[in-house]
Amino acid sequence: MTKKLACLASTALVGCLLSATAAMAQSTGSQANEVDSVVVTATGQRAVAGQIVETLPKSRASVDAAFLATQSTGQNVFQSLNLLPGVSFTNNDPYGSSGGNLRLRGFDGARVSVTFDGVPLNDTGNYAVYPNQQLDAELIDRASVNLGTTDVDSPTASATGGTINYITRKPSHEFGGIADASIGDDNYRRGFLMLDTGDIGPLGTRAFVAGSWQKYDKWKGPGSLEKKQVNARIMQDIGDRGDFVSLAVNYNENRNNNIRQLSLAEFNAFGKNLDYTATCTNRVINAGTRTITETAPAVPGNCTDYYGRQVNPSNTGSVRGSALFHLTDNVRLTIDPSFQYTLADGGSQLATVAETDARVRGTNGAAKDLNGDGDTADTVAFFAPSVTNTRRYTVTSSLIWDLNEDHRIRVAYTGDYGRHRQTGEYTTLDADGNPTNVFGGKEGHGAKVLTSDGSFLRARDRFSIAQLNQAAAEYRGKFMDSRLTVNLGVRAPFFKRELNNYCYTQNASTLTGVVSGFTVLCTTQVPNAAAADGSVTFGTSATKYIKPWSATVKYDKVLPNAGATYDLGGGSTVYVSYAEGFSSPRTDNLYTATLVNGVGSPADTRPETTKTYDLGYRFSSPTIMATAALWKTDYQNRIVQSYDPDLGISIDRNVGAVKAWGFDTQAAWALEEYLTVTGSFSYNNSEIQDDLINGAAAGNVIPLSGKQIVETPKYTFGGRVDWDVTDAFHVGVQGKYTGNRFSTDVNDEVAPHYTVWDLSLEYDLPFAKKTYAQLNVNNLFNETYFGSISSRTNALPIAGVTGTGVPTYYIGSPRTVQFTLRTEF
Tens digit of pLDDT for each residue in 102-145?
Answer: 888 888 888 888 888 888 888 888 888 888 899 999 999 988 88
Rounded to whole angstroms, how far apart are CA atoms 309 and 782?
Answer: 30
User: Could you tell me the pLDDT band of residue 511, with boundaries at 50, 70 and 90?
Assistant: very low
List Cβ<8 Å contacts ≥24 apart for 290-297.
297/381, 297/433
Distance from C-alpha of 289 to C-alpha of 295, rounded to nearest angstrom: 18
Nearest alpha carbon to residue 539 among 358, 336, 361 = 358
Please give the distance of CA 430 from its chain centroid, rounded to a whole number. 33
Rounded to the nearest 5°, which phi and psi values hold at 458? -155, 155
Residue 163 lies in a domain: yes
Are 125 and 464 in contact by the 8 Å Cβ rule? The answer is yes
pLDDT digits (tens, 9 = 90+) for 713-741: 999 999 999 999 999 999 999 999 999 99
- Indicate if the alpha-carbon torsion angle 703, 705, 709, 713 is positive or negative: negative
Instruction: Compute the distance between CA of residue 231 and CA of residue 243 in angstroms, rounded to an integer.
Output: 23
77 three-class SS: helix
Question: Is residue 43 in some structural domain?
Answer: yes
**Region of poorest pLDDT, from 54-58, 301-305, 812-816:** 54-58
Average pLDDT of the residues in 788-795: 90
By CB neighbour count within 10 A (0-12 exposed, 13-18 middle, 19+ buried), where does 558 fall? exposed
CA 677, CA 49: separation in Å to the nearest integer?
8
Better-predicted residue by pLDDT, 49 or 449: 449
Q: What is the C-alpha to C-alpha distance for residues 763 and 774, in angstroms, rounded to an integer?
A: 6
- Over range 571-595, report the average pLDDT: 88
End-to-end CA distance of the chain: 29
CA distance 121 to 147: 18
For residue 32, pLDDT over 70 is answered with no
Short-list 11, 137, 130, 132, CA closest to 73:
137
Per the structure, the complete domain to which residue 47 belongs is given by 3-168
Quote the CA–CA distance of 684 and 741 in Å, as a whole number. 11
Question: Using CB atoms within 10 A of its CB, is residue 465 exposed (0-12), middle (13-18) or buried (19+)?
Answer: middle
* pLDDT class of 574 with cuts at 50, 70, 90: very high
**Rounded Cα gap, residues 588 and 422, in angstroms:** 10
Residue 123 sits in a domain whose CATH number is 2.170.130.10
Does 109 map to a domain? yes
Residue 700 has a pLDDT of 74
Cα distances (angstroms) measured from residue 23 to each of 30, 285, 649, 689: 9, 53, 38, 38
Amino acid identity, position 390: T
Q: Please, which residues bridge with residue 122 across strands?
A: none
Give me the pLDDT at residue 129, please: 85
| Nearest of 22, 33, 21, 144 to residue 485 by alpha carbon | 33
CA 464 to chain centre: 21
Confidence of residue 347 (pLDDT cuts 50, 70, 90): low
Question: How would residue 1 be classed by pLDDT, with cut points 50, 70 and 90?
Answer: very low
Q: Does residue 645 surpass a pLDDT of 90?
A: no
- Report, as an integer, the average pLDDT of 430-452: 93
Q: How far from 427 is each of 202, 288, 344, 363, 371, CA to CA, in Å? A: 54, 37, 16, 21, 12
E strand map for 715-804? 715-724, 729-738, 741-742, 750-751, 754-765, 770-778, 786-790
Please check the confidence at residue 3 and state whether its pLDDT lies above 70. no
Q: Residue 22: which of 54, 50, 48 has the closest Cα? A: 54
Q: How far is CA 461 from the centre of its chain?
A: 25
Band of residue 23 on the pLDDT scale cut at 50, 70, 90? very low
The percent of residues in the chain predicted with pLDDT above 70, rounded, is 89
pLDDT reported for residue 7: 36
pLDDT tens across 276-294, in order? Answer: 999 999 999 999 999 999 9
599 versus 150: the higher-pLDDT residue is 599
Work out the pLDDT band at 22, boundaries 50, 70, 90: very low
CA distance 578 to 485: 15
- Tens-digit pLDDT profile for residues 294-313: 999 989 999 888 999 899 89
Which segment of 33-47, 467-481, 558-572, 640-654 scores lowest on mean pLDDT?
33-47
Q: What pLDDT is stored for residue 650 in this prediction?
A: 54
Work out the average pLDDT over 517-528.
82
Condensed to tens digits (0 to 9), the pLDDT of residues 375-404 reads 999 999 999 999 999 999 999 999 999 999
**419 within a domain of the structure (yes/no):** no
How does DSSP assign 305-336, residue by residue? SBGGG-B--EEEEEEEEEEEEEEETTEEEEEE
Higher pLDDT, 728 or 636: 728
pLDDT band with cut points at 50, 70 and 90 for residue 640:
low
Is residue 797 in some structural domain? no
The rounded distance, in Å, linking the Cα atoms of 403 and 133 is 42
Residue 642 confidence class, pLDDT cut points 50, 70, 90: low
pLDDT value at residue 810: 95
Bridge partners of 356? none
Please check whether residue 375 lies inside any domain of the structure. no
Residues in the chain: 825
In the chain, count of helices (H) and strands (E)? 7, 49
Q: How far is CA 668 from the centre of its chain?
A: 28
- How many domains are contained in the chain? 1
- Distances, alpha carbon 660 to alpha carbons 341, 578, 613, 663, in Å: 37, 15, 11, 11
Q: Considering the domain boundaries, does residue 59 fall inside one?
A: yes
Question: Mean pLDDT of all residues in the chain?
Answer: 87
- By C-alpha distance, which of 89, 136, 139 is closest to 112? 89
Report the distance separating Cα 109 and Cα 420, nearest Å: 20
Q: What is residue 20's predicted lDDT score, i.e. its pLDDT? A: 26
Mean pLDDT of 439-461: 93
Give yes or no for a contact between 412 and 472, defined as CB atoms under 8 angstroms apart.
yes
Q: Residue 148 domain-assigned?
A: yes
Distance from C-alpha of 313 to C-alpha of 323, rounded to nearest angstrom = 33
How far apart CA 529 and CA 527 sit, in angstroms, is 6
Question: Which residue did the predictor score with more confidence, 512 or 365?
Answer: 365
Q: Among the listed ranges 348-352, 406-410, 483-487, 765-769, which one has the minimum average pLDDT value? A: 348-352
What is residue 44's predicted lDDT score, i.e. its pLDDT? 29
